[in-house]
Amino acid sequence: MTAALATLSAALFGTADFLGGLASRRDSALVVTVRSQMIGFLVLFVAALALPAVVGMRDVALGMVAGVSGGIGVLSLYAGLATGRMGVVAPVTAALSGTLPAAFDLVRGTAVGPMGVAGIVLALVAVVIVSVTGHESDDDGSGRRALTFALVAGVGFAGSLLCYASTSHTSGYWPLVAGRTTTVLMLGTLAIVRLRSIRLDAGAVRPALWAGGFDGLANIAVISAIRLGPLAIASVLAALYPVATVLLARYFLDERLHVWQQVGVVLAIVAVVLSALA
């Protein structure tokens, strides 16, 4: 179930990132992030109400820290996706968001079987392959800006996942609600101060709202995965979301999928299978 839920979260995250990046090309990444996170809050709140839970102040505090870290991550990711090629920005973000929690879990002494280790290694190789292939240099510096955004996003997501992994299993989805509340308040205040408004361009409304819905469901799936099995496996499989982003960008935006990127997609699928058998 850990592998299945983490893989599901990857598909949902990848779809949310594609839609968020698409919306950010039509309006401010900050406003898109705020509006999409508001929709995600509603999804998480309903899920939290539906699941019996006993939540303590420590869980709420960890959720709030995760909200700050994740908010910085998603804002940076959407800005990067709007600035550069989606097929490059998303995988670079994933490489960090997957490897940092996995490394922490393995150093902490979590036991992972040979099949699980093989799945982790293949998943990381898949992310790297998709990241480093097909990147075209940008004379205007947009490629460097996009890479910077991607690196910040990866660290932000990794910090958020580590915080959620430290919450008690009895707390249900309330840490996610606390985190999302913090994100919305933090970024919403920033948007009002800087832009005086959180209104979206008409063309950005629909993809932004759908991005929020998919992101909320993805968070539910990933926190369920890390509570059922090793963080090392869950974090790496969840980091396969660039596969969905790359494929959607290829189909809808005609971003070319190079041969090595196709190899990366195949390796990602193999990694999912191996991790499921671990």
* Range of the structural domain that residue 97 is part of: 2-277
Can you read off the two tokens belonging to residue 123? 């998943």
pLDDT of res. 46: 97
Helix, strand or coil, per DSSP, at residue 134: coil
**How many angstroms separate the CA atoms of 242 and 232, rounded?**
18
Question: Considering only CA atoms, which of 162, 151, 127 is closest in space to residue 241?
Answer: 127
Please compute the mean of the pLDDT values over residues 137-158 and round it to a whole number.
75
Give the lowest-confidence range in 10-14, 168-172, 187-191, 262-266: 262-266
CB atoms within 10 A of CB 169: 11
**How many angstroms separate the CA atoms of 18 and 14, rounded?**
6
**How many angstroms separate the CA atoms of 111 and 114, rounded?**
10
DSSP secondary structure letter of residue 169:
G
pLDDT of res. 16: 94
Helix, strand or coil, per DSSP, at residue 146: helix
Mean pLDDT (the chain) is 85
pLDDT of res. 141: 57
Report CA-CA distances (Å) from 149 to 32, 114, 142: 16, 34, 11
Number of domains composing the chain: 1
pLDDT of res. 257: 64
